Structure 1
Amino acid sequence: MVFSTSESAISAARLDTGRVGHGGVNTIQRPVETSTGTQLVPVRLLEIEDEQVSEGRLAFAENLPLDTGLKQIHTDHPNGAIELVEAILCVEDGEFDAYVTRYQLYSGTPPELEGKACVFDLGGGRIMIMPESHITDLLPGEVFTSSPGFAGYAVKVRDLAFTRRHLESNGFPVVETARGDICVPSASLLGTALIFTER
C-alpha cells in the first residue's frame, strides 16, 4: 500500500520521530500513457523498512507535477471504477491496538471508530483496520486466515448497477456487503476482496 504525500521529506521526518525504519526519499520514474506516447514521470518514493511491518509493503509517494501539455490517457476502466477509496487491513484481535497506533503515526491522522473497526480518513481515501474476528461484519462469507494483511480494497464507481452487470457478464460472483455496496469475494481474486461503491 502506498500513501500519497504532498511532501515526502515531512513524511520521512514523521517516521524518524516515531523511530520507524525507512529507506530515505528516492526519486523514481513512473510510466504514464499520454496523447503523445508513454512518458516517464518522476515520483519521490519513501519506503518503510521496519521489522514491525508484516502486513505487506508500505511506502509514501509524492507525485511531482506533470509537464505542461502532458495529459494522461486510458484512465477509464470498463467496470466503471474511477478511484481507489479504501484499503481494509485485517489484523489479529490481540494486535488491533498496536496497529491502530502504528497507522496513526504513519498517517499523521487520528483514527475514528466505525463499529469494531478503526478508520483513518486521509481526505480522498480511507484505511480501515478491522479485527479478524469481525471481518465478516464488513465482508459476508469471508474467512481471512493470513492476518495481518489487506483483506480488501474499495473503489468508487459512477453507477453500481452498471458495474454489477459488467462483473456478472464476465463471470465474477457478486455479493452485497453490510454497507450496501457490492463485492467480488477474495476466493475469486487471489485472496483479496474487491468492493465497489458509489460513496
Structure 2
Amino acid sequence: MATEITRLHHVGHVVRDLPAALDLYRRLGFVTPAPSYPAMPPREGGEPEPFGAANTHADFPGDFLELATVVTAGGRVPSDARLVPLQAPPDVLPTLVERIDTTRANLAECLERFEGLHILMFSSSDVDATATRLTAAGVGHGGVNTVRRPTGGEVETVRYLEIDGARPGLAAEGRIGVVADLDPRIQATRAAGHPNGAVGLVDAVLCTADADLDAARARYERYLGRTPRAHGPARVFDLDGATLTLVPASGLAALLPGEQTPALPALVSCTVAVHDLAAAENLLRNNEIPVVRASSGEVFVPATAAFGTAIAFRQA
C-alpha cells in the first residue's frame, strides 16, 4: 500500500527527574546536548523563568530519541540547561503559550500513568497529504501546525500534526503524531558520533491487552496507511528502515524477557541500531548498566533501570 509515511521520526521518553535521566543516557553512550527550557518572565519586567515542557535529543542522521520532562515549580533543572525565551509577535504569542501549556498538560497526564515512553512520531514526505488521508479515514487530529526555530545560524521549519484520542493531541498510549521529514542538511549538523555507536532509531514496541490487539492494529493501519505482517503473536508495521511492533501483553515476555508494563496500552521499548553491538554491550557493562539479552540476539536495558522504558540495541 502506497503511503506518504516514511519512517520513525522520533520517540519521546518522558521522565520526572531530567538531570538523573541525562546522566543515565550519557552512561548509555548517547550524546545528549544541554536541554532546552522554554522561558517567560512571570511578570512584566521580570527575568525569564522556565515553564511548560523541556527536552533534549540523541540525534541520528534520519531520526532521534527525545528525552523530555514537565517543568514543575521547585523541580530540578540541569546545571547546563538552556533557557529559550519565547519570542513571537504579540498576536501570535498567546497561541504559542497555549500550545506549550497543552503539551505540558498532556505529558503531565502521561506521567501520572507511569514514567516512560509516551511519544511516538512518524515521518511524512507530505504532512498535508497525511492530514487529508487521516481525515478521510475518520482519524481525529489537530491539523498541521508550523513552528520555526533558529538552529545553527538558520531557521528550521517544523510541520507536524497530533492525533486525537482520549483528549486532543493525546491517544490512549501517549502523544502520537506525524512530522514532516527532517531536513537532512540541518539534521547532519546535529547527528553526533555516539560513544555507543548508535546510528538510528529502528523499532518501537506498543503493548496492548490481548483483547485489544486487533483494535490497535486497525487504528495504526489508519494512521500509517500500511498493513502489518504477523510475527508470532505480534503485528509488525514495516517502515523505511524501521518497524512499529504491536505485541499483546501475553507475548511481551517472549519479546523482552522479564519486562512488564504498568498500564495498557503502553509504549514499552525503543530500539537503536549500533555500528558494533558487542562494543555497545561492553560499554554498558563497563558503565555498570544492567543488560538483558533477547531471543532475537539484541541486548536491552530493562525498564526498571531506565526510567520506565526498555532501551534496546541492535547490530546495524
Q: TM-score, normalised by structure 2?
A: 0.58
Q: Confirm or deny: 8 A CA contact 1:88 1:150 kept in the other structure.
A: yes
Instruction: Report the Cα distance in structure 2 between the residues aligned to 1:158 and 1:114, rounded to whole angstroms.
Output: 26
Q: Specify whether residues 127 and 70 from structure 1 end up closer, same or farther in structure 2 by C-alpha distance, changes over 3 A only.
A: closer
- Give the letter for the 1:108 counterpart: G
Which segments of 5 or more consecutive residues in structure 2 lack a partner in the other structure? 1-119
Q: Which residue of 2 aligns with 1:54?
A: 172
C-alpha change, 1:161 and 1:43, in structure 2 (3 Å) is same
Aligned Cα RMSD in Å? Answer: 2.0
Flag the 1:20–1:176 CA change in 2: closer, same or farther, 3 A. Answer: same
Q: Are residue 8 (structure 1) and residue 123 (structure 2) matched?
A: no
Measured in 2, the distance between the counterparts of 1:40 and 1:193 equals 34
Q: 2:215 corresponds to which residue?
A: 98
Distance 1:142 1:17, change over 3 A: same
- Classify the secondary structure of the residue corresponding to 1:72: helix
Q: Give the CA deviation at 1:50.
A: 2.4
- Report the equivalent of 2:156: 41
Q: Does 51-60 or 151-160 show the bigger shift? A: 51-60
For residues 261 and 187 of structure 2, the distance between their equivalents in structure 1, rounded to whole angstroms, comes to 42
Contact 1:44–1:64 at 8 Å: present in 2 too?
A: no
Local SS of the residue matching 2:247: strand
**Residues 28-59 of structure 1 deviation map (CA, whole Å, 9 limit, x = unaligned):** 13565xxxx46441111111122382001011
Q: CA deviation at 1:138?
A: 0.6
Is 1:29 aligned to residue 144 of structure 2? Answer: no
The answer to whether structure 1 residue 143 and structure 2 residue 256 are counterparts is: no
| CA distance, structure 2, for counterparts of residue 111 and residue 134 of structure 1 | 17
Per the alignment, residue 55 of structure 2 pairs with none
Are 2:314 and 1:197 aligned? yes
Alignment CA distance shift 1:183-1:38 (3 Å):
farther
**Higher gyration radius (CA):** 2
Please state if 1:17 is matched with 2:132.
Answer: no
Give aligned-pair identity as a percent.
Answer: 39
What are the within-5 Å matches in structure 2 for residues 171-186 of structure 1? 171-186=288-303
Query: Match for residue 85 of structure 2?
Result: none
| Residues matched between the structures, number | 194
**Residue in structure 2 matching 1:76, options 174, 177, 193:** 193
Deviation by residue 1:91-111 (Cα, 9 ceiling, x = unmatched) = 011100000000011111111
Matched, 1:111 2:228: yes
> Counterpart amino acid of 1:80?
G
Give the gaps of 5 or more residues in structure 1. none
Cα deviations across residues 104-147 of structure 1 (Å, max 9, x unaligned)?
Answer: 11111111000110000011211000001110111001122311
- Kept after mapping to 1: 8 A contact 2:289/2:301: yes
The answer on whether the counterparts of 1:4 and 1:61 sit within 8 Å (CA) in structure 2 is yes
Q: Please state how far the C-alpha of 1:184 moved relative to its aligned partner.
A: 0.4
Using the size of structure 1 for normalisation, the TM-score is: 0.90
Residue identity matched to 1:61? V
Preserved CA contact (<8 Å) 1:90 1:151: yes
Higher RCO (CA < 8 A, seq sep 6+)? 2
Alignment partner of 2:312: what SS? strand
The structure-2 alpha-carbon separation of the partners of 1:73 and 1:16, relative to structure 1 and needing over 3 Å to count, comes to closer
* Cα contact 2:201–2:272 (8 A) shared by 1: yes
Aligned equivalent of 1:163: 280
Matched, 1:86 2:188: no
Contact 1:112–1:119 (Cα < 8 Å) also in 2? yes
